[in-house]
Amino acid sequence: MSAAKRLAYNSAFNVGATMFSAGLSFILVPIILSSLGESVYGVWALVGSVFSYSYVMGLGMNSATNREVPGLLVKGDQKGLREVMSTAVAFFSGVGLICALLTAVLYHGFCDWFAIPAQMHATARATILAVGTGITLAAPLQPFGGLLSGYQRYDIMALGRILPLCCRALLIIALVSGPARLFVLGLIATGTELTIYVIYLFASLRLLPSGTFSPRAANWSLLRRMLAYGVNTWLYGLGVVIMGKTTEIVLGILCNTEAVARYSIASSAIFLLGGMVETFCGPLKPMVSDLQARGKDQQVVKVAFAYQKLVLLIAIPTVAFMVVMGKEFLLLWTRKDMPEASLALAILAIGYLFRLSQHSNFLVLVGLGEHRLFGVVTVCMGVASVLLVGLFVALGWGMVGAALGNMVALAILGAVVLPRLFRSKMGLGPWQGLARSWKPALICSVPAIASLLLWKLLRPPQSWAELVPGILAVALIMVVSTWKLGLLKEEKSMVYSLVGVTAKAP
């Protein structure tokens, strides 16, 4: 299979699994909100926010793992593969111990740090214990996800997620009720994630040569080298976590759990879009590492521009929908009128468009090992967003102020700083990204955005029966305009090859 075709297949599997997961989440959010109520849902959002920081304990080691694996496979270096996996498993076993300590700290302090209603203290602590235990047990299994990514087996990763997610949805619908509903939800969520990692483990064992990892094969000099690479990726992820999750923590401290719940619901639509873009781009990193190992530098530049354009073709019309139809969408989705949340959604969507436009560029630099400044700058912007959010919330602007603080930081990061860094690392001119990615994506999006505005003006949707066909019509307009206006000849040829059709000569 050619590199381009493999990349397309991997992206298709990754996006398919994410769309499936997003669809389930879309269905479950109003069910969970109805079962828990806004106050309890806000506690659940806070639990997720504080544990999202367990990501930072990995220090980018998983990223380093799937950076090392493609090159070792190209060389056929089984000894090197054994050392990488043994080192990664040993490292994440230590991370599991730290997660256990974090769980103990949160168990004792969570209800004191946040505005948790007194009657919920016992259940909240039990939920912290359940979620933290699951994260602790899953930590040593994390390298196997990085291994499958390094093997570019995104088909296995996608299929390994779908069945556990289906079981989780059924269990939530059946069991999340009664006074212990928050604790039960925590057990179901953490059990699902642990199951997915166990599936990754068994799939990896079938791919690896026997005896590929062992505690005695851990190489501590290799660990230092992998951490030196991984920390730079970790900094970028840390900045994203700070911007994405700290806002809920700030609202939980300065406001109440109802404000957390509404902001969480508004931002969840953004995170679904972000998750789709990130999984679509996921196969890009090991592919770039593979191309670099083969000396195909010019192909890396072509892939970078093509992926940024595809990301924008997904993100621009989706963000336009959130801005134009956010109020109607939230009302139908949650069956609650939340004007502040819809305004926060529109503001956040604009900010995240700029960040997502640079995600593929970041992964290209990660694949090349040239991403250090990306991480440092993203952390700085994350800290700036926290300061702005804290200021605006303290001024009494509530969730709208929180969204505005994030949007300002994201716009500076994604529209000014990161594009300049990418151009300097890749040796590109100042207008190449605009001409080869932004310009065609914006031109293709004009008909879809115009149809959204016309739809809003003539008859805003009042029911799902009106909303869904409208979304499908806008999506069809976007697909047609993309095919006619946005894809180059070789990109169309790749699409033909993926569906088994021979491209016609022009």
What are 66-75's pLDDT values in tens digits? Answer: 777 777 776 7
Question: Would you state the structure tokens that stand for residue 238, as one six-digit string?
Answer: 């840390």
The Cα-based distances of 229 to 62, 223, 234, 468 in angstroms read 10, 10, 9, 44
Residue 500 CB contacts under 8 Å (≥ 6 apart), including other chains = none
Query: Mean pLDDT over residues 459-468, rounded?
Result: 91
Decide if pLDDT at 466 tops 80.
Answer: yes
What are 394-448's pLDDT values in tens digits? Answer: 888 888 898 999 899 888 888 888 888 888 888 888 788 788 889 999 999 999 9
Give me the residue label for tokens 């660990």.
223
Of 3-7, 115-119, 159-163, 473-477, the least confident: 3-7
What CA–CA distance (Å, rounded) separates 436 from 434? 6
| 139 or 448, which is more confident | 448
Decide if pLDDT at 344 tops 80.
Answer: yes
pLDDT band at 145 (very low <50, low <70, confident <90, very high): confident
Neighbours of 216 (CB within 10 A): 7
Query: Mean pLDDT over residues 51-57, rounded?
Result: 69
What CA–CA distance (Å, rounded) separates 243 from 252? 15
Contact 447, 481 (CB under 8 A): yes
Per cent of the chain over pLDDT 70 is 89
Give the pLDDT confidence score for residue 55 in this predicted structure: 65
Query: Mean pLDDT over residues 258-274, rounded?
Result: 82
pLDDT band at 53 (very low <50, low <70, confident <90, very high): low
Give me the residue label for tokens 């912290």.
128
Give the pLDDT confidence score for residue 448 in this predicted structure: 94
What CA–CA distance (Å, rounded) separates 433 from 422? 10
Of 82-91, 171-180, 304-313, 328-337, the least confident: 171-180
Decide if pLDDT at 213 tops 60.
Answer: yes
Give the pLDDT confidence score for residue 318 in this predicted structure: 92
What CA–CA distance (Å, rounded) separates 67 from 61? 10
Question: Would you state the structure tokens that stand for residue 186, as one six-digit string?
Answer: 């925590």
- Give the CA-trace dihedral at 209, 94, 244, 467, to 10 degrees: 40
Of 254-258, 306-310, 455-459, 491-495, the least confident: 491-495
Decide if pLDDT at 362 tops 70.
Answer: yes
Angle between helices 38-51 and 257-281 (to 10 degrees): 50
Decide if pLDDT at 376 tops 90.
Answer: no
Decide if pLDDT at 496 tops 60.
Answer: no
Give the pLDDT confidence score for residue 76 in this predicted structure: 72
Residue type, 270: I
| 292 or 214, which is more confident | 292
Contact 268, 48 (CB under 8 A): no
Contact 14, 282 (CB under 8 A): yes
| CB < 8 Å & 24+ apart, contacts of 331-339 | 332/461, 332/463, 332/464, 332/467, 333/26, 333/29, 333/30, 334/29, 334/30, 334/33, 334/265, 335/30, 335/34, 338/262, 338/265, 338/266
Decide if pLDDT at 4 tops 60.
Answer: no
Residue 428 CB contacts under 8 Å (≥ 6 apart), including other chains = 301, 422
Q: Is 320 exposed, middle or buried (0-12, 13-18, 19+ CB in 10 A)?
A: buried
The top-scoring range by mean pLDDT among 37-41, 200-204, 329-333, 484-488 is: 329-333
Give the pLDDT confidence score for residue 157 in this predicted structure: 82
Contact 30, 335 (CB under 8 A): yes
Neighbours of 502 (CB within 10 A): 8
Q: Assign 100 to helix, strand or coil.
A: helix
DSSP secondary structure letter of residue 312 = H
Query: Mean pLDDT over residues 106-116, rounded?
Result: 83
What CA–CA distance (Å, rounded) separates 415 from 505? 39
Decide if pLDDT at 138 tops 50.
Answer: yes
Query: Mean pLDDT over residues 208-227, rounded?
Result: 72
Contact 362, 371 (CB under 8 A): yes
Q: Quickly count helices (H) and strands (E) in the chain.
A: 21, 0
Query: Mean pLDDT over residues 351-363, rounded?
Result: 86
| 189 or 154, which is more confident | 189
Angle between helices 284-293 and 359-368 (to 10 degrees): 40
Question: Would you state the structure tokens that stand for residue 345, as one six-digit string?
Answer: 């959604």
| 393 or 1, which is more confident | 393
pLDDT band at 256 (very low <50, low <70, confident <90, very high): confident
Decide if pLDDT at 140 tops 90.
Answer: no
pLDDT band at 23 (very low <50, low <70, confident <90, very high): confident
pLDDT band at 505 (very low <50, low <70, confident <90, very high): very low
Mean pLDDT of the chain: 82
Decide if pLDDT at 503 tops 90.
Answer: no
What are the phi and psi torsion angles at 152 (to 5°)?
60, 40
With b meaning 16 or more CB within 10 Å and e meaning fewer, what string describes 226-256? bbebbbbbbbbbbbbbbbbbbbbbbbbebbb
What CA–CA distance (Å, rounded) separates 184 from 191? 10
What CA–CA distance (Å, rounded) separates 20 from 158? 10
Nearest Cα residue to 149 out of 305, 249, 6:
6
pLDDT band at 7 (very low <50, low <70, confident <90, very high): low
Number of residues assigned to the chain: 506
CA angle 22/314/16 to nearest 5° reads: 40
Q: Read out DSSP for 170-235?
A: HHHHHH--STTHHHHHHHHHHHHHHHHHHHHHHHHHHHSPTT---GGG--HHHHHHHHHHHHHHHH
What CA–CA distance (Å, rounded) separates 5 from 24? 29
Give the pLDDT confidence score for residue 201 in this predicted structure: 85
pLDDT band at 212 (very low <50, low <70, confident <90, very high): low
